[in-house]
Amino acid sequence: MNPTFLYVMGAEAGVGKSTVCLGILAYLLTQGFKAQELAYIKPMTQCLIPQNVALFCEQTHIDCCATEGLVFTKDFTRDFIAGLTRNSDELKQEILNDVYAIAQQKTFVIIDGIGYPAVGSIIGVSNVDIAMALDSNVIYIAHPGIGKAIDSTVLNVTFMQNKGMNNIGIIFNQLSSTLTTIQPYIDKRLIELLPTTTLLGFLTKNENLDELVHNQSIDEISKWFIENLDTSKLLSQC
């Protein structure tokens, strides 16, 4: 059986893509999926510091490739333009080979994106390029708030759709206790501006997440992750 690829993209670096990957993996484990059915990979990165999701994978014995992919080092794009690196096709194929390698005998492969959707375009291997080559479903992680959150979501999702990507679910991340006051506004405006996307829900801040990961509290991580998400839509996106 071919694995399902789920590519997690976001508004920018630090918006919570890796945290959402962690939450998805914890939730799938609580739904009865075995660790050997799952995999996590970050095929392109600007950061070589392992995130919580990598520790979680190590603890739960989920296959993980977090820092071994294409690294955007200083001056890499200049070298690419100057013809000093591998070309776009070679870079893209190496990334796909890494994903296919970890996907062997898996049911779900969670792919952690780099920066915002267009990152990598300059070398021909943007998040969208890789996701489309894999025929991957996508979850987009939006900024917290209303104005900037929706504006940047429209900008990035429109780019993704113009590239031919349609199956996009959206999570608004890092919200505080004001969730109940802003949720109706996001619900209303998002469907007006991006009617073909799926709002999966909202994710609140969890100040104890590091502790939960270190304590291997899978059930608690999953409970927090899905508290304000539509789990039926989330599973459909997976």
For the chain, what is the mean pLDDT?
92
At 176, the pLDDT band (50, 70, 90 cuts) reads confident
- Is residue 180 pLDDT above 80, yes or no? no
- Rounded to whole angstroms, how far apart are CA atoms 72 and 92? 14
Mean pLDDT of 204-214: 91
Stronger pLDDT, 29 or 179, i.e. the higher one: 29
Using the predicted structure, report yes or no on whether residue 179 has a pLDDT greater than 80: no
- Kindly report the three-state secondary structure assignment for every residue of the chain: CCCEEEEEEECCCCCCHHHHHHHHHHHHHHCCCCHHHEEEECCEECCCCCCHHHHHHHHHCCEEECCCCEECCCCHHHHHHCCCCCCHHHHHHHHHHHHHHHCCCCCEEEEECCCCCCCCHHHCCCHHHHHHHCCCEEEEEECCCCHHHHHHHHHHHHHHHHCCCCCEEEEEEEECCCHHHHHHHHHHHHHHHCCCCEEEEEEECCCCHHHHHHCCCHHHHHHHHHCCECHHHHHHHC
Amino acid 177: pLDDT: 66
Q: What number of residues does the chain have?
A: 238
225 close to 66: Cβ distance less than 8 angstroms: no
**Given a cut of 70, is residue 226 above it in pLDDT?**
yes
Over 90: is that where the pLDDT of 69 sits?
Answer: no
What pTM value is reported for the model? 0.94
What domains are there in the chain, each with its CATH number? 4-237 (3.40.50.300)
Asked if pLDDT for residue 157 goes beyond 70, the answer is yes
Average pLDDT over residues 119-139: 95
CB neighbours of 41 closer than 8 A, spacing ≥ 6? 64, 65, 66, 69, 98, 99, 102, 109, 110, 111, 112
Please report the pLDDT score of residue 161 as a whole number.
96
